Amino acid sequence: MTITQLQYVLAVAEHKNFTLAAEKCFVTQPTLSMQ
């Protein structure tokens, strides 16, 4: 697991929403959910 992937997991856990987490990580929702 990379640092970036860990940041994605933490963002999803914090926001409980893939779309919002993706916005906060500056990536698209499909990119985030594929990780």
pLDDT digits 0-9 by tens, 5-34: 999 999 999 999 999 999 999 999 999 888
Q: What's residue 21's pLDDT?
A: 97
Residue 5, burial from CB neighbour count under 10 angstroms (0-12, 13-18, 19+) = exposed
- The band of 35, judged by pLDDT with boundaries at 50, 70 and 90, is confident
Q: What's residue 6's pLDDT?
A: 96
Task: Give me the residue spans of the domains in the chain.
Answer: 3-34
Residue 3 predicted with pLDDT over 90? yes
Distance (Å, rounded) from C-alpha 27 to C-alpha 16? 16
- pTM surpassing 0.85? no
